[in-house]
Amino acid sequence: MSLPTIATRQWAITYTINFGVRAIHYIERCHIRQGGMVIQVFSAILLFTCACVSEPSIDKGKFAELDRAVQDLKAAITSSDPCDVPDTFQQRIASGITAVKDKTNSKGERDLIVAYSHLLTTYKDGLLLCQSRTHLSNFDFFPKGRIYVSQELDPLVEKYDLSTKKHLYKRTGQYMRSIDGNSIRVIWESARTQIKNIENMMNYN
């Protein structure tokens, strides 16, 4: 357990007890001891204090493999080519989650599993968008530097609020939608934010 974690919990326990004692004194001054209110207040304080003491911290060793995969992903999505990200991270992160999700011993560890799962979803979204960059790119009627919004990409456009443009295909008179070719950066920025949150959870629990 890290020193910041110990200090934080000790402060929370001390603060809670002091608050409870002041509350009891207030109740006594107001002469409202009827119905065992003082006992109820103090019991609540004890329950909260015990929860603070007994909640185990995150076992960092348990998440070591996942952490290595996420740090490698972090380095990959900050490369010069935002789509030069190998798809091997999908298996590494998914396998890591499977290996530890049934071995969690605290709320902090369960929350961490949820955070890793959300990151995995974001990573898959990024891969899908990267794989879609070349759709219609070889046709002269489609604007260069744009990504065609297929039905498969519709959920991502809405999820990440990506700006779209309409293009008229004169041969059929139908409109098509596209997004900027650099839209992948929006998804990777979301991934970086999630990775930062995971790092904070690991460091301060």
| Overall pTM > 0.85 | no
Q: At 35, which amino acid appears?
A: G
Residue-wise pLDDT for 164-181, tens only, equals 998 777 777 778 899 998
**Whole-angstrom distance, CA of residue 52 vs CA of residue 75:** 36
The token duo for 163 is 């700006």
Q: Which pLDDT score is estimated for 79?
A: 76
Residue-wise pLDDT for 35-86, tens only, equals 445 445 444 554 554 444 456 688 899 999 999 999 999 999 887 677 888 8
Q: Which of 11, 41, 13 is CA-nearest to residue 26?
A: 41
Contact 15, 9 (CB under 8 A): no
Q: Which of 2, 64, 69, 54 is CA-nearest to residue 203?
A: 2
Q: Give strand ranges (E) for the chain.
A: 146-148, 164-169, 174-180
| 3-state class (DSSP) for residue 166 | strand
The token duo for 182 is 């650099």
Number of other residues whose CB lies within 10 A of the CB of residue 172:
8
Whole-number percent of the chain with pLDDT over 90: 45
Give the pLDDT mean for 93-99: 95
DSSP type of residue 7: H
